[in-house]
Amino acid sequence: MANEYTTLPLLKSYVGENTNTYDLFLQQCLTTASRSVESHCRRRFYADAAATARTYRLADRLVCDPDGDLIIVDDISSLTDLTVEKQSGSSWNAVPDYSSEPENALAISRPITYLRRPGGLWSTPMDTRIRVTAKWGWPAVPDEVVQATLLQAARLFKRKDSVGGTVGNEEFGFLRITRVDPDVQALLRPFVIQAVG
């Protein structure tokens, strides 16, 4: 499996599983938890190996700023192979004068999320599109995402013993398992992209 945010050996250790009996199920829990983290945050945290192009409408993503207009882009994991082009009729022209922001984001293992035209405008009229070719994602998976994935995967694994959504027994009582663990929510809160519209 690919693009999980923690490892099967770590998950097995976390849930106290010392045999290979549940390896396939644990791997499925790990993959599902990783995709669940992405769905909750509305972004993914692994980096692409190769650059691909995405097109943006300026009207949807333009932020006007005294230091130069910004375009909000999806998470970019690297400056390598990053190119920006502006639509002009049916052709695309390279944009050489732009900067990536936040400044120093990659140095602290955070993604680029804006492209700025220093002291200038991206384009007029507003219906012009920008094509960005980049390696998308994050340069490194944050520790909080690793921990949240581990917690969520362990929770999914334990559900095999609580198909009805409760855990416990008659002596100590039963507890309903909620949809998202509060600790997972707390760990992921800084990484959630807020929905707009």
pLDDT tens sequence across 37-50: 999 999 999 999 99
Full DSSP string of 118-148 = TTS-S-SSTT-EEEEEE-BS-SS--HHHHHH
Q: Say if residue 196's pLDDT is above 60.
A: no
pLDDT band at 58 (very low <50, low <70, confident <90, very high): confident
Q: Is the pLDDT of residue 162 over 80?
A: no
Instruction: Say what the pLDDT of residue 119 is.
Output: 79
What was the pLDDT predicted at 184? 94
Answer yes or no: do 17 and 39 share one domain.
yes
Q: Which domain range does residue 86 map to?
A: 52-134
Assess if residue 197 is contained within a domain: no
Same domain, 180 and 110: no
In this predicted structure, the answer to whether residue 145 has a pLDDT above a threshold of 70 is yes
Question: Which whole number is the average pLDDT over 9-24?
Answer: 93
Task: Kindly give, in sequence order, each residue whose CB lies less than 8 Å from that of residue 162, ignoring residues fewer than 6 positions away.
Answer: 177
Same domain, 187 and 145: yes
Q: Are residues 60 and 114 in the same domain?
A: yes
Q: Give domain status of residue 1, yes or no.
A: no
At residue 68, the pLDDT reads: 86
What is the helix (H) or strand (E) element at residue 153, kind and residue range?
helix 143-158
Per-residue model confidence as pLDDT tens digits over 86-143: 888 888 989 988 999 999 999 999 999 999 988 788 876 655 889 999 999 999 999 9
172, 104: one domain: no
Question: What percent of the chain has pLDDT above 70?
Answer: 85
Domain boundary among 134, 158, 175: 134
Same domain, 17 and 37: yes
Tell whether 125 and 77 lie within a shared domain.
yes
> How many domains does the structure of the chain reveal?
2
pLDDT of 157 over the 60 cut: yes
CA angle 166, 170, 172 (to 5 degrees): 85
Domain membership of residue 3 (yes or no) is no
Q: What is the mean pLDDT of the chain?
A: 87
Residue type, 37: V
Same domain, 13 and 58: no
